[in-house]
Amino acid sequence: MRLKFISILASWLMFVLAGILPCSAVNVIPYPQSVEMTDVVFNKKKIDKVKYVTDKEMPSEAYELCIKKSGVVIKASDDKGRFYALQTLKQLAEAEVMYCGVIKDEPRFPWRGFMLDESRHFHGKEKVKMLLDMMARYKLNRFHWHLSDDQGWRIEIKAFPNLTTVGGIGCNTDANAPAKFYTQDEVREILAYAAERHIEVIPEIDMPGHTTAFTKVFPQLNGKNRTVNPGKEETYAVLKTIYGELAELFPGRYIHTGGDEVNKNGWNDLPEVKALMEKENLKSLGEVEEFFCRRLADIVTATGKNVVAWDDLIDCGTNPDGKVMLWWHTEHPEFLQQGADRGFDMVVCPDRPFYLDFVQDKEDKVGHLVGRFTNYMQQIYEFGIMDNPRVIGVQSNLWSERVVTPKRIDYMVFPRLLALAEKGWTWARNLDYQGFLKRLENEYKYMDAKGIYYYDFRNKNNHPEPER
């Protein structure tokens, strides 16, 4: 008995003498929920000795990472948790010295997203894959892919090949640029790449506004002012075919239907709209828009997918079950509350400060809406998120009107996306902007090694603002 006591005491003394390192010693983004690292140095030669333990009681995406002298033990309930544990392990291993200890972790929000607009400017699959790699490293799990707008249609639809060969002509800086788009085989390649990284891809075909590329191919469905005609049955028949193909191609749960910034004024002159209003007893063009959006939602729902839309549609009267609204109207915070109250799942992506096309430096000249908004990384990190069970996540969006080159993408996205990633994963009690900046130093080294042309606020001369 005495020997057992002495043994226990000795073990306790060794633990005390080893000590617990401060949390600042863990250079991981996003920061984990619980960290207990000792000053016992881990032999990196044993980094490949990983034992996996399945614990079905743990939530999806959660993990426990135990680093011992003998090797590494990862406990999780699913592949997602194991994958995220490995991302943490990789970052720890990049430090000069790696320590033993235990990290217990799970995300704050299930939706941690990034949107890329490829209608205004097409960027291609290699750039998309690079972005997916970076999303995976920082535990982002929703890639929102904006594939249609006024400037171009970017995804092959077998039933309507002219959507790409004709609708794909042009971009924001050259209306006559050769058609650029993704074939369905290329889409499948990207989808497989994303799936390996546990990222769900959400395609967006924006309706009923932002449709110039669409109406180039279907002029008979033009509703004026960059809209489709909501009074024609052919409109719904064509959209049923398009969204049906999307549903077959994309394995994820969601399809984004757009719904933002609809200029309805031209509908006044359309006889089909007047007939629709009389038939359905619609009193205003606003009610016509709502009618269209409900029908489109029904089309998507019939494919087995859930609808995602911009917060413009909160008042459209559609059934909220399974539907996600992206709140982007910073000037209308009430939209977020209204959407939650009406039963929609809400994703927080306010244009100020989560839009990455807005400049991040008051001296920058190329970014979107120069002189109006400057979205600093600290604003993203410290933005308050409404505490409501209907708020399921956060997302940053990159609109590409003024984003032409791969270098420009890097400059606008990084490192601000890392702040968004920590915002979406790390629980509020562990958010610390100054600590984040210290941990960011390691990520600068990583991005340098990857050749990423990030905005370097430490010394802007390192990466001057690209012209395009």
For position 20, what pLDDT does the model report? 55
Q: Of 160-164, 184-188, 301-305, 459-463, which range is least confident?
A: 459-463
Asked whether residue 253 is domain-assigned, the answer is: yes
For position 25, what pLDDT does the model report? 63
For position 21, what pLDDT does the model report? 52
Last residue of a domain, which of 86, 105, 124? Answer: 105
For position 372, what pLDDT does the model report? 66
Q: What is the CA radius of gyration of the chain?
A: 25
Average pLDDT of the residues in 311-336: 94
Q: For residue 208, give its domain range.
A: 111-430+450-462
For position 12, what pLDDT does the model report? 40
In eight-state DSSP terms, residue 259 is: -
Give 407 or 7, the one with higher predicted confidence. 407
φ, ψ for residue 377, nearest 5 deg: -60, -40
Considering the domain architecture, whether residues 67 and 125 belong to the same structural domain is answered as: no
Q: How many residues does the chain have?
A: 468
Considering the domain architecture, whether residues 89 and 33 belong to the same structural domain is answered as: yes
Which residues are paired to 148 by β-bridges? 153
Considering the domain architecture, whether residues 38 and 93 belong to the same structural domain is answered as: yes
Average pLDDT of the residues in 308-337: 95
Percent of the chain topping pLDDT 70: 94
pLDDT, tens digit, 9 for 90 and up, residues 95-137 = 999 999 999 999 999 999 999 999 999 999 999 999 999 999 9
Average pLDDT of the residues in 133-161: 98
Rounded Cα–Cα distance for residues 309 and 302 (Å) = 16
Which residues are paired to 307 by β-bridges? 255
Asked whether residue 399 is domain-assigned, the answer is: yes
Considering the domain architecture, whether residues 131 and 100 belong to the same structural domain is answered as: no
Rounded Cα–Cα distance for residues 363 and 371 (Å) = 10
Structure tokens at 360: 């991040």
Considering the domain architecture, whether residues 203 and 305 belong to the same structural domain is answered as: yes
Give 13 or 238, the one with higher predicted confidence. 238
For position 34, what pLDDT does the model report? 96
Rounded Cα–Cα distance for residues 59 and 77 (Å) = 7
In eight-state DSSP terms, residue 461 is: G
Which residues are paired to 64 by β-bridges? 75, 104
Average pLDDT of the residues in 2-26: 48
Asked whether residue 357 is domain-assigned, the answer is: yes
Percent of the chain topping pLDDT 90: 89
Structure tokens at 176: 């006559």
Considering the domain architecture, whether residues 328 and 456 belong to the same structural domain is answered as: yes
Query: Can you say how many angstroms the Cα of residue 320 is from the centroid of all Cα atoms in its chain?
Result: 21
Residue 71 pLDDT greater than 90, yes or no: yes
Rounded Cα–Cα distance for residues 192 and 212 (Å) = 31
Considering the domain architecture, whether residues 95 and 137 belong to the same structural domain is answered as: no
Residue 3 pLDDT greater than 90, yes or no: no
Give 369 or 283, the one with higher predicted confidence. 283
For position 416, what pLDDT does the model report? 98
Considering the domain architecture, whether residues 225 and 358 belong to the same structural domain is answered as: yes
Considering the domain architecture, whether residues 175 and 101 belong to the same structural domain is answered as: no
Rounded Cα–Cα distance for residues 97 and 40 (Å) = 10
Considering the domain architecture, whether residues 137 and 269 belong to the same structural domain is answered as: yes
pLDDT, tens digit, 9 for 90 and up, residues 263-297 = 999 999 999 999 999 999 999 999 999 999 999 99
For position 164, what pLDDT does the model report? 98
Assign 18 a pLDDT band (cuts: 50, 70, 90).
very low
Q: Of 15-24, 219-228, 235-244, 319-328, which range is least confident?
A: 15-24
Considering the domain architecture, whether residues 61 and 186 belong to the same structural domain is answered as: no
Mean pLDDT of the chain: 94
Asked whether residue 420 is domain-assigned, the answer is: yes
Considering the domain architecture, whether residues 44 and 128 belong to the same structural domain is answered as: no
Asked whether residue 74 is domain-assigned, the answer is: yes
Assign 6 a pLDDT band (cuts: 50, 70, 90).
very low
Q: Of 45-49, 172-176, 233-237, which range is least confident?
A: 45-49
For position 8, what pLDDT does the model report? 41
* The total number of structural domains that make up the chain: 2
State the DSSP string of 15-49. Answer: HHHH-B--GGG---SSPPSEEEEEEEEP-GGGTT-
- 52: domain CATH number? 3.30.379.10
Residue 19 pLDDT greater than 90, yes or no: no
Residue with tokens 């970017």: 154
- 137: domain CATH number? 3.20.20.80
